[in-house]
Amino acid sequence: MEEENTLNGMGDAALIGSMASAIGDARMVDEEHAPYAVVPHGYVLRDLSGMRDAPRRRKQVVAFTAPQSLVAYVNRFKGPETTGYADYQDPFRPSLSVTIDHSGPSTPQWGEHKAVLKLEPSHELTAVQSILCKWLDQEDFAEWLMDNAGLVASPVSSELLEMARDLEEHKSVKFRSRVSLADGGRAYSFDDTEKTTNIVVPAVVRFSVEPFTRPSGQVPIGTRLSYRTTDGELRFRLTPEIPIAETLRLHAEELFESFIAEQAGIPIYA
């Protein structure tokens, strides 16, 4: 059996010299290309970089979910060419990748040290999104309002809760008519056994939510409240004034390209 010989290291001048003494074809090309070695049959070229006391450069990708944590990390390790790249393809899950050892115009770098921020939608955003553009009966609409009153910016929570309770109490009462009010709201009339009850419902409901799981600032979501009747039953629907995806993209752009860029002192491109 042929005995295996080993030449240790990779890309070092000493290695190339050792190989050159063993075989005439081993050589290193110019600096603009990657170094290479010709290994004869029966020899193995091995990388011994793991045996050094410390690596020559950082090669790691560090993931973050909090914007402030990413800013602190970048400020600790950044160099003169550190650069960030934002991805808004999924506005519900925007991401930012910062290359710490980024190449400069005349200073090529390895680009192997990165900090990545990945944002995920919050429970608040998911709750609001769950009812948008859906027809809900009085009971489901009132129940959602009572469970999520804290997300409502206007009208005030007390008024909205009162309206929700009134709707809940009249879920089994036949809807009769609607009257538009001067302020844009609507008064809905219900035929009770002894009297007619009017419930005032606003035309616009505005929410304020933290869109992502980690703090990034509140986002306003304006919705228009519409209604329809089916067999005497009243149903409601909330429709966003601006598409949620567009609202989230604008928020992420502000977060990445203004706040993080300023706090970390780096350029960020999309």
Domains of the chain (ranges plus CATH)?
Answer: 5-51 (no CATH), 60-120+250-269 (3.30.720), 123-241 (no CATH)
Residue whose pair of structure tokens reads 């005032």 in the numeric block: 200
Contact 240, 132 (CB under 8 A): yes
Q: What six digits make up the tokens of 162?
A: 């009162």
Q: Which pLDDT belongs to residue 10?
A: 47
Long-range interactions of 9-17: CB distance < 8 A, separation 24+? 9/46, 9/47, 9/48, 10/37, 10/45, 10/46, 10/47, 10/48, 10/49, 11/35, 15/45
pLDDT of res. 101: 96
Rounded to whole angstroms, how far apart are CA atoms 19 and 34? 17
Per-residue pLDDT, 61: 95
pLDDT at 183 (0 to 100): 52
Inter-axis angle of helices 157-169 and 138-147, to 10 degrees? Answer: 150
Q: Return d(Cα 270, Cα 262) in angstroms, integer.
A: 16
- pLDDT for 232: 65
pLDDT of residue 226: 83
Global pTM reads 0.72
Residues of the chain with confidence (pLDDT) below 70: 1-36, 157-158, 160-161, 163-199, 232
CA distance 9 to 44: 10
Q: Which of 133, 149, 119 is nearest to 244 (CA)?
A: 133
